[in-house]
Structure 1
Amino acid sequence: MLACYYKYYLVGCLLLLLASCVEPYRPDVIQLPHNYLVVDGFINSNGRTTIRLSRTLNLDDAKTPPGEANAQVLIEEEGGPQFTLAQGTNGNYTSQPLRLNPTRRYRLRIRTADNQEYASDFVENKITPPIDSISWKTESDGLQIYVNTHDAEQKTHYYRWKYDETWEFTTPFYSLLEYKNNQMVDRREDISHCWRGSSSSAISISSTAKLRQDVVSEFPLVKLPDNSIKIKYKYSILVKQYAQTQEAYEYAETLKKNTENIGTLFDPLPTQLTGNIKCLSDPAEPVIGFVSVASEEVKRIFIKRGQLPPTWRSLEEYAYCELDTVLAKDAATTFRNGGTLPIAEIMMPAGFTASSVDCVDCRLRGTNVKPDFWE
């Protein structure tokens, strides 16, 4: 028996020794000092163009990509005029509304603050067909939204979509009072009813090149779970559609595979991304991005809670909120710092109902200004 215990003891010591010898593998590539330019956006031929410039980061860097400031960004027509993009925040550059010639080719030209010059290839201005409709279906596990379109002239074949979502939400408590200038006054602004939004991040593309007709029918754009807070009251989606060249589509397809379809044994290996932007100052320097030119087509729909199955129940994002009581003599010390907000006056005992600011003021998660497009 003693020999058996001794054997287990030796095995345990050996396992501890092996574990202590394991060191994390950190290949040199994740800490290389390269800081390549990233160009994100497209040239909108029938509206405002927004381009974001940033820099690549090391794989082990947890920060978000920094915006590239103080650059000069131009849209150039081949053999024609130039259009300047104004600098905004966080590396964003935006043009005035433009109406570019559909028969001409255009490119993006960039000069960074360190006088490095970059330019995309001149590409054709693709005319995007209108969106036929945005349809939706309720399924067993949620709300599926589709986009439908076609090109009767059979010239598009390559499509890409983006979308902006907007939805209503409320806080659990409606505040009637406000502690202002060391006194309690009636609240004049509704801070319990707000709107929130988000934009698409997934790459949504489709091709009809192998079909007899240039028709996209019920392309699945986004799916909302049946308990999504977005559909608790009213939900709206603005779909943006763009025609693409075959080269732009193939770039987006590769990018989609590299960013969305990795991580399992059967996923394809990441492949080299080759865009259409070059560094004119140093042709050997890689540049990340692909600049296309297309008109933008948009369509918006609204979906009301009453149109959805009554058995669907949205998650309660304010489940932790509680209603408290604050005595009148403690009002100043409780409400002065803004962490707790008054809700209503009570008489017995003399004081106020209250809750944390996060449970009362919806502006912490959205805006109480009704969007102009809201129905």
Structure 2
Amino acid sequence: MNLLNGNKLIGWLLMLLVSSCVEPFTPEVLEAPNNYLVVNGFINVNGPTTIQLLRTQNLADEGLPPAEKNATVTIETDNGESYRLSETTNGIYEIENLNLNPTHKYRLFISTSKGKKYASDFVEVKQTPAIDEVTWKPVDREVQIYVSTHDSNNNSRYYRWNYESTWHFRSAFYTNLKYENGEVLFRDENDENIYDCWKTENSTTIELSNSIRLSQDVISNYKLLTLPYNSEKIAIKYSILVKQYALTPEAYKYWETLKKNTENIGTLFDPLPSQITSNIRCLSDPQEPVIGYISASTVQEKRIFIDSKELPKDWKTFAPVCYSDTMYLSRHSVVDYFKEGYNIPINGIYPQGSPFPIGYSYASKGCVDCTVWGTNVKPDFWE
């Protein structure tokens, strides 16, 4: 059978399946009990440790995965010491800066509010080498960002990165007006800034690389992410904080499998999901699956900035799609237009020679007030 005939056969089979399904069909997997523990995080031996506990849900379930609340979460050492984490928000457990001895092994112990107990394997501490540099360059119509590192002792070999993106942006329209107590007034220095804002996002992809096939433990210009030329993130100024973690071979295999499973699902021709091997066990029920992998390491960080002035001059930067309109006081009152807060006045409309407005231009709140999308508090690290 040649490829063309094979594709035709698959097409006919799909048509047959679709046309023969008269009654709605829900696969059993969607209705199967699915309430397994998910453990997200790692043991940071030279800084704050954050562990997130969630529960899995069925594909048919709506909403976010439920948090595992009111658990007791502890870091244990192989010499009997322990450090308890505090629940700061639902399902998020944290402990401030630790300074753990890197010669010991560590594990995570969890006791849920229902009495179930979980524990990871004891793991060795990986000392993460410093990030050599984070660089960027414009390629075609995008910004490409790279990270480089090396370990002169050849002890790391396996690496993982994540990052925080922060960018400065502005609302589509500037206004010096505000609606207050049935009136449109001029804004003053005591009013909140709603024109300049910043937004931060955490990375959502799994970024890995290794030097196992190289004679030297060097990672050179690993492409971490790309930004389209017209992205809002680089319209004014952008910053990225890159975090680097050294991994054991077992941890690297876990993350590599997870990366393949999350990136390759979606079509008939994608490979089937691989089995993910966790190093966390349910002590109360050894047959219960647990999702997650606990590592222990130091962390290295490096931050860079990209100013829009450094980008190619022919790049057309991001511009928000927003429209303004006008209202006239002869037809409507300012209460009609601005009381509910959906619209914000931008400028007054004045007849020639008169100090009294006969109307106002206005736009929706999301086009005038940047705090709808971010914060107007300038980050401490901002240059």
State if a TM-score over 0.5 links the two structures. Answer: yes
Q: Matches of 1:266 and 1:340 in 2, distance apart?
A: 49
Q: Deviations along 1:16-42, whole A, 9 cap, x unmatched?
A: 9x9365445532122211200000111
Shift of 1:256: 0.6
**Which of residues 330, 333, 357 in structure 1 aligns to 2:333?**
330
Aligned residues of 1:66 and 1:90 also touching (Cα < 8 A): no
Q: Matches of 2:25 and 2:316 in 1, distance apart?
A: 46
Shift of 1:340: 1.1
1:35 equivalenced with 2:35 (yes/no): yes
Q: Deviations along 1:331-350, whole A, 9 cap, x unmatched?
A: 12321111111223332252
Question: 2:125 corresponds to which residue?
Answer: 125
| More off after superposition, 202-211 vs 255-264 | 255-264
Q: Matches of 1:267 and 1:337 in 2, distance apart?
A: 50
Q: Matches of 1:311 and 1:234 in 2, distance apart?
A: 17
Question: 1:183 corresponds to which residue?
Answer: 183
| More off after superposition, 305-314 vs 359-368 | 305-314
Question: 2:100 corresponds to which residue?
Answer: 100
Secondary structure of 2:335's partner?
helix
Question: 2:4 corresponds to which residue?
Answer: none
Secondary structure of 2:255's partner?
helix
Q: Deviations along 1:37-96, whole A, 9 cap, x unmatched?
A: 000111111111111100111122232211111111111111132111111224111111
1:19 maps to a residue whose letter is S
Q: Matches of 1:216 and 1:31 in 2, distance apart?
A: 45
- TM-score relative to the length of structure 1: 0.91
**Which of residues 319, 322, 326 in structure 1 aligns to 2:321?**
319
Q: Matches of 2:21 and 2:70 in 1, distance apart?
A: 49
Q: Deviations along 1:164-193, whole A, 9 cap, x unmatched?
A: 001111112112122223333332222011
1:190-269 aligned at under 5 Å gives the runs 190-264=193-267, 266-269=269-272
**Which of residues 357, 360, 375 in structure 2 aligns to 1:352?**
360
Question: 1:9 corresponds to which residue?
Answer: none
Give the total of aligned pairs.
359
Q: Deviations along 1:278-309, whole A, 9 cap, x unmatched?
A: 01111111111000001111000000111111
Q: Does the C-alpha gap of structure 1 residues 363 and 183 become closer, same or farther in structure 2, counting only changes over 3 Å?
A: same
Aligned residues of 2:152 and 2:217 also touching (Cα < 8 A): yes
1:109 equivalenced with 2:109 (yes/no): yes
Q: Does the C-alpha gap of structure 1 residues 20 and 158 become closer, same or farther in structure 2, counting only changes over 3 Å?
A: closer
Structure 1, gaps ≥5 residues long: 1-14
Q: Deviations along 1:306-328, whole A, 9 cap, x unmatched?
A: 11111212343x32322423428
**Which of residues 291, 294, 298 in structure 2 aligns to 1:295?**
298
Question: 2:277 corresponds to which residue?
Answer: 274
Question: 2:371 corresponds to which residue?
Answer: 363
Secondary structure of 2:251's partner?
helix
1:233 maps to a residue whose letter is I
1:8-27 aligned at under 5 Å gives the runs 19=19, 21-23=21-23, 25-27=25-27
Q: Matches of 1:360 and 1:100 in 2, distance apart?
A: 49
Q: Matches of 1:179 and 1:270 in 2, distance apart?
A: 55
1:30-69 aligned at under 5 Å gives the runs 30-69=30-69
Question: 1:11 corresponds to which residue?
Answer: none
Secondary structure of 1:88's partner?
strand
Aligned residues of 2:324 and 2:361 also touching (Cα < 8 A): no
Q: Matches of 1:333 and 1:265 in 2, distance apart?
A: 55
Q: Deviations along 1:108-160, whole A, 9 cap, x unmatched?
A: 11111101011101101111100000011211131110000000111000100
Q: Deviations along 1:211-270, whole A, 9 cap, x unmatched?
A: 100000000100111121111111110000001111100000011111112334553321
Q: Matches of 1:25 and 1:253 in 2, distance apart?
A: 34
Aligned residues of 2:138 and 2:144 also touching (Cα < 8 A): yes
1:320 maps to a residue whose letter is C
Secondary structure of 1:371's partner?
coil
Secondary structure of 1:235's partner?
strand
Aligned residues of 1:326 and 1:354 also touching (Cα < 8 A): no
Q: Does the C-alpha gap of structure 1 residues 344 and 322 become closer, same or farther in structure 2, counting only changes over 3 Å?
A: closer
| More off after superposition, 20-29 vs 237-246 | 20-29
Shift of 1:351: 3.1
Q: Does the C-alpha gap of structure 1 residues 333 and 103 become closer, same or farther in structure 2, counting only changes over 3 Å?
A: same
Q: Percent identity?
A: 52
